[in-house]
């Protein structure tokens, strides 16, 4: 049976949202059944309904989570995600922010691990323009689906 995946993204200028569409296509090519949600419309409680969790989140400030993801990350404190598989991606800027490049990806991986989820693919980090990375985003999604 197809694995049920929830892809939750937080995006201020639409870059993560655009990447999400391509990650979702890759997941679907890998035979996963995918629900894509903006974090503003997602609740921590619904993560329990899926086999796997994919987060997409850009980095803002100096190494902070995208604004809409802050409350969601906090709400995950103490929830149990044992048995769930997970992976995280996000865009950033390695030239402007070399010391905090895509740290949102690292923060969310840490949160997921703390909840007991298993990270099944290395975080996918994109620097600068996201359009050239659409193909890689799809491949990454496919790889994640194959690891479920």
Question: Applying CB under 6 A, does 95 fall inside the site for ligand FMN?
Answer: no
Which CB, 30 or 91, lies closer to ligand FMN? 91
12 binds ligand FMN (CB under 6 A): yes
Cβ neighbors of 137 (< 8 A, separation 6 or more) are 19, 22, 23, 26, 89, 124, 126, 130
Q: Does 134 bind ligand FMN (CB under 6 A)?
A: no
Q: Which residue is nearest to ligand FMN (CB)?
A: 92
Residues that bind ligand FMN (CB under 6 A): 11-16, 58-63, 66, 91-93, 97, 100-102
């Amino acid at each position: 049976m197809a694995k049920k995946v929830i892809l939750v993204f937080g995006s201020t200028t639409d870059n993560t949202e655009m990447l999400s569409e391509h990650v979702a296509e890759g997941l679907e090519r890998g035979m996963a059944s995918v629900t894509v949600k903006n974090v503003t419309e997602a609740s921590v409680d619904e993560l329990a309904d899926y086999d796997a969790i994919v987060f997409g989140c850009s980095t803002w400030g100096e190494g902070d989570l995208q604004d809409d993801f802050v409350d969601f990350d906090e709400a995950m404190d103490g929830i149990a995600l044992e048995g769930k598989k997970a992976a995280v991606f996000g865009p950033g800027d390695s030239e402007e922010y070399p010391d905090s490049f895509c740290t949102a990806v690292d923060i969310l991986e840490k949160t997921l691990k703390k909840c007991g989820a298993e990270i099944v693919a290395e975080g996918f980090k994109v620097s600068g323009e996201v359009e050239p990375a659409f193909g890689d985003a799809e491949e990454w999604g496919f790889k994640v689906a194959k690891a479920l």
